[in-house]
Homo-oligomer: A and B are copies of this chain.
Amino acid sequence: MIIAVDAMGGDHGASAVCPGVIEACNRNSDLEIALIGDKTVIEPYLDKADGSVRSRIHVVHAEEVVDPNESPAKAIRCKKHSSMRIAMEMVRSGEAKGCVSSGSTGAIVAGGVLVVGRLKGIDRPGLGILLPTKKPVFLLDAGATVRCKPLNLVQFSLMGSVYMKDVEKLSSSPRVCLLSNGSEEIKGDDVIVAARERLRASDDLNFGGYVEANRVPMGDADVVVCDGFSGNVMLKSFEGLIKFCRGLVKETIQESWLAKAGALLLYPSMKRLGARVDYQRYGGSALMGVNGAVIKAHGRSKAPAIANAIGVAYSFVERNALERIREDIAQELEKVAAEETLC
């Protein structure tokens, strides 16, 4: 399986992406990587790969890089030789089964729509990410479609449910909830209320109504659906608070020798706990609703997070997520067409 990887994105660029690619190849022996970016920058980092891994990494030279400050759509349209655009084109042409980039969210979404193309029946894509919560919770949209129409939220619900069922292999029917500012019916705005009414009428989903942000870590829903703005706020609130709490714990430990001794004894357990809530473990979010496995890695990704994002792309492809979503959406469209004929 070939996955195209943008070597030039994110805060750390090739210095994080290249070791991440090597780690991903070490994990999966049937994985090949098309590593796209400035050859002269990339190649020195690949010297560390052993022979069998190195032979599976194919460097594709790209002269341009998409800058996070430029207009996403313009960058994708104009920078035809950028590493991100080339990665997307390899997915469209079928040369690669999927692609991974830690570049700007906006450009990845624009590339997904303009280059890879939308899935038939999907109006806007959504970024889906598994949260490091009690049990895996799929948040959709984490930042692709900043503001949504009710139809977008309904489509996210459908795609999220298929993802949890077919990629994450959830045994029961995934419970899909709309993120809202309270659990009561009087909560939400017009868009959320309209989406709720449409979801309630659906026979295909296990729709659980509203979920509040404080219940998300407890796993009250398997799929949490919201617009990209709210999803981004929730995801970043979690990230920021975990970082803040880590800092507080470190400070607290320095307070006394008693605390230091306690921390020493607790260290192995706390290290495991730290790994449990580390966003790097969940390095990739899938751009749901486009015609390929397009995975966004966190902008601050270091090598392990890049390897995990490539792992998300690998599972997405291996478990036929795209085909399943495509089938489900097609069935849904047929149903709607049949209902319209009846009316």
16 sample A-B contacts, Cβ–Cβ < 8 Å, listed by A number: A69-B184, A69-B185, A69-B186, A146-B188, A214-B236, A216-B240, A233-B237, A234-B237, A237-B237, A245-B245, A252-B266, A252-B273, A258-B269, A259-B266, A262-B265, A262-B269
Task: Judge whether A240 and B213 touch: CB under 8 Å.
Answer: yes
**Is residue A218 within 8 Å, beta carbon to beta carbon, of the partner chain?**
yes
**Is residue A242 within 8 Å, beta carbon to beta carbon, of the partner chain?**
yes
The residue that A229 contacts in the complex, of B68, B181, B273, with Cβ under 8 A, is B181
Minimal beta-carbon separation of A135 from chain B (angstroms): 12
**How far apart sit A235 and B269, CA to CA, in the bound complex (Å)?**
29
Minimal beta-carbon separation of A137 from chain B (angstroms): 11
Contact with B along A263-290 (1 / 0, CB 8 A): 1111111101100110000000000000
Chain B residue nearest to A272 in the complex (CB): B252
Minimal beta-carbon separation of A29 from chain B (angstroms): 34
- A interface secondary structure, majority: helix
Q: Which residues from B are CB-within-8-Å of A269? A: 252-253, 255-256, 258-259, 262
**Is residue A323 within 8 Å, beta carbon to beta carbon, of the partner chain?**
no
Task: Judge whether B265 and A237 touch: CB under 8 Å.
Answer: no
**Supplied contacts A68-B184, A216-B237, A266-B266, 12 more A-B pairs, CB within 8 Å:** A69-B184, A189-B229, A212-B236, A213-B237, A215-B240, A216-B240, A229-B230, A230-B230, A233-B234, A252-B273, A258-B268, A259-B265
Task: Judge whether A106 and B233 touch: CB under 8 Å.
Answer: no
Q: Which residues from B are CB-within-8-Å of A146? A: 181, 188-189
**Is residue A63 within 8 Å, beta carbon to beta carbon, of the partner chain?**
no
Mark A residues whose CB is within 8 Å of B.
68-69, 71-72, 105-106, 133-134, 143, 146-147, 179, 181-182, 184-186, 188-189, 212-218, 228-230, 232-245, 248-249, 252-253, 255-256, 258-259, 261-270, 272-273, 276-277
Q: Which residues from B are CB-within-8-Å of A239? A: 213-214
Task: Judge whether B248 and A277 touch: CB under 8 Å.
Answer: yes
**How far apart sit A69 and B183, CA to CA, in the bound complex (Å)?**
10
**How far apart sit A155 and B272, CA to CA, in the bound complex (Å)?**
46
Task: Judge whether B240 and A214 touch: CB under 8 Å.
Answer: yes
Task: Judge whether B266 and A253 touch: CB under 8 Å.
Answer: yes
Task: Judge whether B217 and A243 touch: CB under 8 Å.
Answer: yes
Task: Judge whether A249 and B268 touch: CB under 8 Å.
Answer: no
Q: Which residues from B are CB-within-8-Å of A189? A: 146-147, 229
Cβ-closest 8 pairs across A and B: A262-B265, A214-B240, A262-B266, A237-B237, A217-B244, A213-B236, A214-B236, A181-B232
- CB contact under 8 A between A242 and B241, given known A146-B181, A252-B273, A269-B253: yes
Task: Judge whether A248 and B273 touch: CB under 8 Å.
Answer: yes
Q: Which residues from B are CB-within-8-Å of A212? A: 236, 240
Q: Which residues from B are CB-within-8-Å of A255? A: 269
Chain B residue nearest to A181 in the complex (CB): B232
**How far apart sit A270 and B263, CA to CA, in the bound complex (Å)?**
11
Minimal beta-carbon separation of A238 from chain B (angstroms): 5
Q: Which residues from B are CB-within-8-Å of A258? A: 265-266, 268-269
Minimal beta-carbon separation of A63 from chain B (angstroms): 24
Chain B residue nearest to A256 in the complex (CB): B269
Q: Which residues from B are CB-within-8-Å of A273? A: 248-249, 252
